[in-house]
Structure 1
Amino acid sequence: MELIPDAHLHRVGGVSAEWKSTGERECFSLSLADTQRGLPAGWYRLDGRLLQSEQKAATACLYPTYANGADGDAQIPLPDPSEAGLISALVLFKYDVSALRFCPAQGPSCFRVEDFSLCRVSRKAALWRMLRPTARTPGGFVSRVFGFVTDVMRGGVSQATDALYRDYRRRLLPQDLGDYANWVARYDTLTAERMEDLRVRAEQFGPDAPLISILLPVYQTPERWLRRCIDSVIAQAYPRWQLCIADDASPDKRVMGILNEYAGRDERIDVMRREVNGHISEASNSALAMARGDYVALLDHDDELRPHALLEMAEAISTGTNVGLVYSDEDKIDADGLRFDPYFKPDFDPDLLRSQNYVCHFTAIRTDLVRQVGGFRKGFEGSQDHDLILRCTERLQPAQIRHLPKVLYHWRAIPGSTALTRDAKDYASSAGARAVADHLDRQHPGARAEELSHGHYRVHWPLPATLPKVSLIIPTRDKVELLRMCVESIFNKTTYPNFEVLVVDNQSSEPDALAYLAELEAHERVKVLRYDAPFNYSAINNWAVAQCDGEVIGLVNNDIEVISSDWLREMVSQAIRPRIGAVGAMLYYPNDTIQHAGVVLGVHGVAAHLYCGMQRGYPGHGGRARVAQELSAVTGACLLVQREIYQQVGGLDESLQIAFNDIDFCLRLRRAGYRNIWTPFAELYHHESASRGGEDTDEKKQRFASEVELMLQRWGDCLSADPAYNVNLSLSSLTCELSSPPRQ
């Protein structure tokens, strides 16, 4: 295909393939002369070679012009070239293309373009190309195929294929393409029409509408950011607010001048100046003393509220029952007003709140509650909000805490702010560790807080003097090398002393396996049980539970290998806590990529493992892959639960022979009032169903499909509304990519 250069693209040294760009965004036009009507809509494979002599400023893109004038996906980003400069990608043109441009870089640069081609491919070939990368992950291919089939059953081939293509693009492309900026422009920009809708909604409130007092402690704030902050309050669609500003003795007299100016313009703004600088906690208390509202909301002096922030809060307060605290999602904003780094949060989770101050902004709390707990405490400056939220939530029931899955608050990311700098984060993190430790002393004596990196914490839960006995159940069939690895790693690496191992032999026949089982029978802490029936994971474990006497049951696959020596102590300490159901671990593939960091419901139809395939150490959305938290479900490959609770909910459902029995079990635990916990501090390798094999026969595929159908019928509503996830995050991605559009 011939490349026709724009005016600011020049050949270098007479070499036909090497070019220099002198403009900002110069492109090649692609000659479509060989076709009568351009390129027909459909699937294409793009191949080429792109070598750049300088670090590029942007990803290469295709820009199609559609014959019908439709915009479609007018910009199609391409993957980064390999080290050899090779680019290969699948491209979908939704409509006939009348013109096509290729832009290899942004800004002045030099590059070399060779062997550029665009070939049409069939839908079948396109589907294979999109599914093929998942085959590199054990179990991933089959899981994705059945996820695709489920999507077809739910929404048709076209919709399922579109979702698969979006997922393919997300996996293939770099992560710095401004996805969030594009998402904001499409789904989270307040147009004139939406602003009018906000005004109409605000007018629905009567004279009893809640008054919200915004607490704004101020100290030496640069005028630009202080005005932006206050202006964002004045611009609120909801009119029933009071802005309580306490200046903490700023040396710069211009600060008070600005504050008095605003107070003179709007009677809803109250201003006071402290005579002595008392830092953030005392300044916040000074603002609190002025509050007349039913609720107080927290605002930092250089941050901004969205225009509908207070309206959304007021609606949540008015439609709820005895609401004590409301919080929203948030993002960051830079000096130029660019929004980035959103945090799309789960519903209220006390374990996650102990692990990080994820509630933070934007938050409104009942004023009388804030005063009852003593307001903001000295000694916790930098994390005074975290300390306050911990103390307030201790006095609330979960039903009194509302989460709004909308970005209502922008953290200002400028030098010196906690949103940006390491020193500021360290200052806040140490105070947060003290807040969590104090909370544990009040609510959970014996538990200990450990400060991790920058605003993350680990809680070490206590164990009783007499350690509960754990029965680790390991179903197996042949594959002696896996079983030996599993059992030996447990005995060689586990420091928790009070456990037994029950190896459940399901019709092993290989001589080496039978010999090893006989060897294990002589081990004083191992029981070998014979289950002489067709493989049914649920039935095997239920039968084994009846044979053991441990207070805690551990479901362990025979392809698990221990990494961290305190894995069992960590999981037991979580499992014996009141109202805790299943406890799951961090599992890795042998190549040190994540296999399981918890389960999210609804992904690929039923459920899938978060962050599967990402490198060990991957932080996850909002840093959540680094901390313990409540999740709706965890995998049964390494799962602990109290024996009494296991039996109370009926164990595993034996009609789910292989797939989703762990998900179903966790959902039944949750329905019974228990909370499921995932911890990254119990680390193990998982060699993924190696002894059972894959879903590689018609019988297995039919069985898997029937299990999918059962889960959809039983839990359909739950699967699309995971409280530990967020409607703004995709159900076709394992890495918390953005949902387009949001699912609300």
Structure 2
Amino acid sequence: MHQPKVTIVVSPRERFSFSRESLESIYENTTVPFQLIYVDGNSPNQIKKYLQEKSQEKGFQLIRTDYYLAPNQARNLAIPHVDTEYLLFVDNDVLVSRGWLKTLLECAEETEATVVCPLTCIGKNIGEKIHLAGGEARIEEKITNKGKTKRKVHEVHYFVNRKVADVKEELHRKKCEFAEFHCMLVRTQIFDQIGLLDEGFLSTREHIDFCMTVNHAGGSIYCEPTSVVTYVPDLKWEIPELSFFMLRWSDAWEIASLEHFADKWNLPTKDKYFEKRYNRMGYRRHNGFLKPFLSFLTFGWNPLWLQKWAISIEHKINKWITDNYEKNLPQKQKLSSPQAIEKNRELVTN
């Protein structure tokens, strides 16, 4: 066997119930040698047991915490253990297609890219509907009529919600400006240059921040559409699943992330980019759970006035859930601090 060039790092995105299907997909469809590190952030007992058994069977490294993890926090637990030329971040709710990793590596080798992303699809129909095929993300500056410099985010997603069959002829390897952490191949050496991932991003904008940082450091990003993966959103109505989901997409975590993004990149929060996100606060919780739950309770009636009333109540409940979780953490962590990153390393090595 050839020595692996890549370490796959699997981490939780927003749920746990798809962990088995996702991991089995990796082992069934990966045709090149790889190492694997699995980060398990407080999964329920049946998933915990499965991962423990699978790690012994397959010989991968399993890192577990008994509390939920923000995405960058989970990834940072794994990065210090990677000793291969490349690492690949993939979420625990993604299915991969045959040969997916081989073509990502070929793209990286042929283009000398720092980051390569696949064609990322979405839905239960594998490889049918596009979620992302790369995109544009940068800070643009312009001088206002008053002679002041205004900074704003330019962000464009390629081929969102298009059917693969409809745009197949347009899908080619392409240099772009950002990828998403659903699945992302990265040259490990970049972390020696830019440091670990920024844990100030608890739930959103972490991919934009990382890719802009890579671009500013002189790196390059490509999308390789011959590699296809599929993100499968399908929340189960189970307490451990819902607990993590509600925290992961909580108002508190999202607001903290947006404020951190604006502060770090010197951006005004009073513009359309940020206003759109503040106005949609909680939409993932509401679309993923609340509205389907109301529809179930009312046998499909679910009038708009009831939705608005329930959403206003849910925001208050979400604040209570988040506050209560923070109070009961076994050890408080200021996720964006260097000290917290050092603590994470100690958790792994001790």
* TM-score normalized by the length of structure 1: 0.31
Q: Does 1:665 align with 2:210?
A: yes
Equivalent residue for 2:25?
489
2:49 to 504, 512, 515: 515
Structure 2 CA distance for partners of 1:642 and 1:707, relative to 1, 3 Å: same
AA in 2 matched with 1:507: N
Following TM superposition, by how much is the alpha carbon of 1:660 offset from its aligned partner in structure 2, in angstroms? 1.4
Equivalent residue for 2:117?
584
Structure 2 CA distance for partners of 1:471 and 1:639, relative to 1, 3 Å: same
Following TM superposition, by how much is the alpha carbon of 1:525 offset from its aligned partner in structure 2, in angstroms? 3.7
Equivalent residue for 2:35?
500
CA distance in 1: counterparts of 2:34 and 2:228, whole angstroms: 18
Query: Between Structure 1 and Structure 2, which shows a larger proportion of strand residues?
Result: 1
Structure 2 CA distance for partners of 1:529 and 1:698, relative to 1, 3 Å: closer
Q: Does 1:703 align with 2:253?
A: yes
Equivalent residue for 2:221?
676
Q: Is the 8 A contact 2:13 2:71 kept in 1?
A: no
CA distance in 2: counterparts of 1:698 and 1:572, whole angstroms: 31
AA in 2 matched with 1:536: A
Q: Is the 8 A contact 1:489 1:561 kept in 2?
A: yes
1:646 to 159, 181, 191: 191
Equivalent residue for 2:327?
none
Equivalent residue for 1:455?
none
Q: Is the 8 A contact 1:630 1:675 kept in 2?
A: yes
Equivalent residue for 2:132?
596
AA in 2 matched with 1:637: H
Structure 2 CA distance for partners of 1:521 and 1:664, relative to 1, 3 Å: same
Query: Gapped runs of 5+ residues in structure 2?
Result: 140-151, 236-240, 268-350
Q: Does 1:610 align with 2:155?
A: no
CA distance in 2: counterparts of 1:617 and 1:633, whole angstroms: 23
Following TM superposition, by how much is the alpha carbon of 1:504 offset from its aligned partner in structure 2, in angstroms? 0.8
2:73 to 535, 539, 558: 539
Equivalent residue for 1:526?
60
AA in 2 matched with 1:707: S
Identity of aligned residues (%): 22
CA distance in 2: counterparts of 1:550 and 1:476, whole angstroms: 22
CA distance in 1: counterparts of 2:99 and 2:249, whole angstroms: 41
State the SS of the aligned residue for 2:178. Answer: coil
AA in 1 matched with 2:186: V
AA in 1 matched with 2:215: R
Structure 2 CA distance for partners of 1:692 and 1:552, relative to 1, 3 Å: farther
CA distance in 2: counterparts of 1:630 and 1:609, whole angstroms: 13
Equivalent residue for 2:173?
628
Q: Pairwise mapping of residues 322-333 of structure 1 onto structure 2 (< 5 A)?
A: none
2:99 to 566, 574, 579: 566
CA distance in 2: counterparts of 1:710 and 1:533, whole angstroms: 23
CA distance in 2: counterparts of 1:655 and 1:649, whole angstroms: 15
Q: How many residues align?
A: 247
Following TM superposition, by how much is the alpha carbon of 1:635 offset from its aligned partner in structure 2, in angstroms? 0.3
CA distance in 2: counterparts of 1:692 and 1:574, whole angstroms: 38
CA distance in 1: counterparts of 2:68 and 2:246, whole angstroms: 17
AA in 2 matched with 1:611: F
Following TM superposition, by how much is the alpha carbon of 1:705 offset from its aligned partner in structure 2, in angstroms? 2.8
Q: Does 1:551 align with 2:85?
A: yes
Equivalent residue for 2:276?
none
AA in 2 matched with 1:598: G
Q: Pairwise mapping of residues 267-666 of structure 1 onto structure 2 (< 5 A)?
A: 468-476=4-12, 481-496=17-32, 498-508=33-43, 510-563=44-97, 565-577=98-110, 579-589=112-122, 590-591=124-125, 592-601=128-137, 607=155, 609-619=157-167, 624=170, 626-666=171-211
State the SS of the aligned residue for 1:619. Answer: helix
Structure 2 CA distance for partners of 1:570 and 1:489, relative to 1, 3 Å: same
Q: Pairwise mapping of residues 33-432 of structure 1 onto structure 2 (< 5 A)?
A: none
CA distance in 2: counterparts of 1:616 and 1:679, whole angstroms: 14
Structure 2 CA distance for partners of 1:652 and 1:693, relative to 1, 3 Å: farther
Q: Is the 8 A contact 2:86 2:185 kept in 1?
A: yes
State the SS of the aligned residue for 1:574. Answer: helix
Q: Is the 8 A contact 1:502 1:529 kept in 2?
A: yes
Q: Is the 8 A contact 1:476 1:503 kept in 2?
A: no
CA distance in 2: counterparts of 1:543 and 1:698, whole angstroms: 17
Following TM superposition, by how much is the alpha carbon of 1:552 offset from its aligned partner in structure 2, in angstroms? 0.9
CA distance in 2: counterparts of 1:636 and 1:716, whole angstroms: 24
AA in 2 matched with 1:630: K
Structure 2 CA distance for partners of 1:692 and 1:543, relative to 1, 3 Å: farther
Query: Between Structure 1 and Structure 2, which shows a larger proportion of helix residues?
Result: 2
Q: Which moved more, 1:487-496 or 1:515-524?
A: 515-524
AA in 1 matched with 2:158: L
State the SS of the aligned residue for 1:580. Answer: coil
Q: Pairwise mapping of residues 676-695 of structure 1 onto structure 2 (< 5 A)?
A: 676-688=221-233, 690=235
CA distance in 2: counterparts of 1:478 and 1:714, whole angstroms: 25
Structure 2 CA distance for partners of 1:521 and 1:672, relative to 1, 3 Å: same
The C-alpha deviation readout for 1:580-634, integer Å capped at 9, x for no partner, is: 21111111112421111113337996746332222123429xx65x001111100
CA distance in 1: counterparts of 2:36 and 2:90, whole angstroms: 10
Q: Pairwise mapping of residues 729-744 of structure 1 onto structure 2 (< 5 A)?
A: none
Structure 2 CA distance for partners of 1:502 and 1:695, relative to 1, 3 Å: closer
Structure 2 CA distance for partners of 1:573 and 1:504, relative to 1, 3 Å: same
State the SS of the aligned residue for 2:189. Answer: helix
AA in 1 matched with 2:256: S
The C-alpha deviation readout for 1:357-415, integer Å capped at 9, x for no partner, is: xxxxxxxxxxxxxxxxxxxxxxxxxxxxxxxxxxxxxxxxxxxxxxxxxxxxxxxxxxx
State the SS of the aligned residue for 1:569. Answer: helix
**Whose radius of gyration is greater, 1 or 2?**
1
